[in-house]
Amino acid sequence: MTQPIERVVIVGAGTMGVTLAKLMLAHRIPVRMIDNQAAALEACRREIERTFSDNHPTVGELEVQAHWSQEGEGSIVIESVTENLAIKRAVIAEAEANCAATTLIVTNTSGLSIDAIGQGMRHPERLAGAHFFNPADLIPAVEVIPGAATTQATIHRTCAFLSLLGKRPAVLKQSVPGFVANRIQHAIMRECLSLLEKGVVDVEALDEIVQFSIGVRLALNGPLLQRDLNGLDTHLNIARYLYEDLEDTHTPSRLLEEYVAKGRLGAKAGRGFYPWDEVHIKRQELEARGNLEHIIAIAMNDKRS
Ligand SMILES: NC(=O)c1ccc[n+]([C@@H]2O[C@H](COP(=O)([O-])OP(=O)(O)OC[C@H]3O[C@@H](n4cnc5c(N)ncnc54)[C@H](O)[C@@H]3O)[C@@H](O)[C@H]2O)c1
Q: Is 111 in the pocket of ligand 1 (CB under 6 A)?
A: no
Distances 110 to 16, 75, 114, 198, 296 between C-alpha atoms, Å: 11, 23, 10, 29, 22
Q: Is 15 annotated as a binding residue?
A: yes
Q: Which CATH number fits domain 7-171: 3.30.9.10, 3.40.50.720, 2.60.320.10, 3.55.50.30?
A: 3.40.50.720
Q: pLDDT tens, 254-298?
A: 999 999 999 999 999 999 999 999 999 999 888 999 999 999 999
Q: What percent of the chain has pLDDT over 90?
A: 89
Q: Is 134 annotated as a binding residue?
A: yes
Q: Is 17 in the pocket of ligand 1 (CB under 6 A)?
A: yes
What's the burial of 224, exposed, middle or buried (CB within 10 Å: 0-12/13-18/19+)?
exposed
Q: Is 11 in the pocket of ligand 1 (CB under 6 A)?
A: yes
Q: Quick check: do 7-171 and 181-253 share a fold?
A: no
- Which atom, in ligand 1's list, is nearest to the CA of 107? 41
Q: Is 71 in the pocket of ligand 1 (CB under 6 A)?
A: no
Q: Is the pLDDT of residue 157 over 90?
A: yes
Q: Which residues are catalytic?
A: 143
Which band of pLDDT confidence, cut at 50, 70 and 90, is reported for residue 160? Answer: very high
Contacts of 57 (CB under 8 A, 6+ apart): none
Which band of pLDDT confidence, cut at 50, 70 and 90, is reported for residue 196? Answer: very high
Quote the distance between the C-alpha of residue 163 and its chain's center: 16
The domain segmentation of the chain, as residue ranges, is 7-171, 181-253
What CATH number does the domain located at 181-253 have?
A: 1.10.1040.10
Specify the DSSP element, H or E, that contains 283.
helix 278-304
Distance 12 CA to ligand 1 centre (A): 5
Higher model confidence: residue 58 or residue 55? 58
Q: Is 207 annotated as a binding residue?
A: no
